[in-house]
Amino acid sequence: VAKRLVCSSCRKSYAVREPRWRCQCGSLLDLEFLPRFDLLKIEDRPPSIWRYREALPIEEDGNIVSFGEGFTPLQRLTVAGKEVLFKLDYLFPSGSFKDRGAALLVSKLKEWGIRQVVEDSSGNAGSSIATYCARAGIECRIFVPRSTSAAKCSQILACGAQLHRVDGSREDTEQAALAAAEDTFYASHVWNPFFLQGTRTFAFEVCEQLGWRAPGTLAAAVGNGSLLLGAYIGFQELMQARIIDRIPRLVAVQAQACAPLVHAFDKGTSDIPPIQKQETLAEGIAVAAPRRGRQILEAVRRTGGCFIAVTEAEIQESLMEMGSGGFYIEPTSAAAAAGVKKFLLHHTPPGPVVSTLTGHGLKAPPRQFAP
Ligand SMILES: *Cc1c(COP(=O)(O)O)cnc(C)c1O
Ligand SMILES: [Zn+2]
């Protein structure tokens, strides 16, 4: 089956050979291709995302940009009296799960022969793209809102990227990057379907770690939904390949201060209502208008899942709780843990219940512990 990029709106399709991050009509593109899974080969390879090589759409091995990342531990914890398996995705080279997507996207950039890119992010996607571009020798410019954590900004600069701090919102930051993308390539983790191709590996790893079984439930923090959507696509592919026999129920967690998808889900619409965004500790999911909002809502609805909003107090409490157990994570990750707890207090979903700790604590050290 030939790989192709297909428009999510007008259905126009493109060969993957030409670099492209959106359709001529301006809409999002999705990648279509048929992945292969040879379980014996997979289990024989080093523990990284690249063990799923036949399912990762990079043509030439020589174009792979990698640090040997992935296959993060799955750790058991008791939450609200119930067992939850947390995937420790803060243990990636740049300190967040975004490396799953960046590894694939930057490998594709290299394959396309692209030498310069721009990207915008609340911090972690920028750090991750900067990390992989440094490894690939691709020049990059990263746009972040002025409010982005100092540690994430330092990380971007340390990787040799140009940093542009934008006065204004996350949405203003996207506009600034789009303007800069006029004369270079836009390596957007939100727009580019190759980023989503990388986050699929979350599903592959979890199923393999469970003995090639699917979890009953997956709970994750959602901003632009790249982890949730990628995982959903990955589970579907494993199901089509008859490796697993169910798709987990998806529980998507947002910060109440910025919860556009929660509002759309509660209203039963597929359009995302405009929201008045408030400050939140969970900067990594503070996305007022997620580009792939419709796709996220559809994925959650199809699995019989739901959306959960967590308050700032719940995020803070969860951050302290996880930290005192030795899980040093950033507040955005604590939002997921808080959501799982809130959900399990009122529901007994199908198990195993899997969640994920997405970002390292060193990215946004808690102020109350400043020495
Ligand atoms: C980006 C990010 C998320 C949310 O991922 P989306 O793909 O935007 O839904 C969650 N946690 C951390 C630490 C992040 O950096
Ligand atoms: Zn189109």
Q: What is the pLDDT along the chain (371 residues), one digit of tens a residue?
A: 579 999 999 999 999 999 999 999 999 999 999 999 999 999 999 999 999 999 999 999 999 999 999 999 999 999 999 999 999 999 999 999 999 999 999 999 999 999 999 999 989 999 999 999 999 999 999 999 998 989 999 999 999 999 999 998 888 999 999 999 988 999 999 999 999 999 999 999 999 999 999 999 999 999 999 999 999 999 999 999 999 999 999 999 999 999 999 999 999 999 998 898 899 999 999 999 999 999 999 999 999 999 999 999 999 999 999 999 999 999 999 999 999 999 999 999 999 999 999 999 999 887 777 77
Question: How high is the pLDDT of residue 219?
Answer: 98
Query: Ligand 1 atom 11: the closest Cα is on which residue?
Result: 358
Measured in Å, residue 40 CA sits from the centre of ligand 1 at 32
In one-letter notation, the amino acid at residue 146 is R
Residue 183 has a pLDDT of 87
**Which atom of ligand 1 is closest in space to residue 101's alpha carbon?**
7
CB 200 within 8 A of CB 233: yes
Closest ligand 1 atom, residue 227 Cα: 7
- Proximal ligand: closest to the CA of 10: 2
- In this structure, the strands spanning 185-186 and 217-221 are unpaired
Sign of the CA dihedral running 29, 275, 151, 362: negative
Q: Whose CA is nearest to atom 1 of ligand 1?
A: 284
- What pLDDT sits at residue 243? 98
Q: How far is CA 292 from CA 164, 202, 260, 270, in A?
A: 25, 19, 12, 11
How does strand 4-7 pair with strand 29-32?
A: antiparallel
Ligand 1 shell residues, CB under 6 Å? 96, 98, 124, 221-227, 284-285, 330, 332-333, 358-359
> For residue 1, what pLDDT is reported?
58
- Residue of 192, 196, 224 to mutate, ligand 1, most atoms within 8 A of C-beta: 224
Phi (first) and psi of residue 295, to 5 degrees: -65, -40
Task: Please report the pLDDT score of residue 366 as a whole number.
Answer: 76
Contact indicator for 195, 261 with CB cutoff of 8 Å:
no
Q: Which of 94, 328, 332, 362 to mutate to test the pocket of ligand 1 (most atoms within 8 A of CB)?
A: 332
Mutate to test the pocket of ligand 1, among 91, 124, 199 (most ligand atoms within 8 A of CB): 124
Question: What is the crossing angle of helices 226-240 and 201-209, to 10°?
Answer: 60
> How far does the centroid of ligand 1 lie from the alpha carbon of residue 235, in Å?
19
pLDDT of residue 368: 75
189 CA to centre of ligand 2 in angstroms: 19
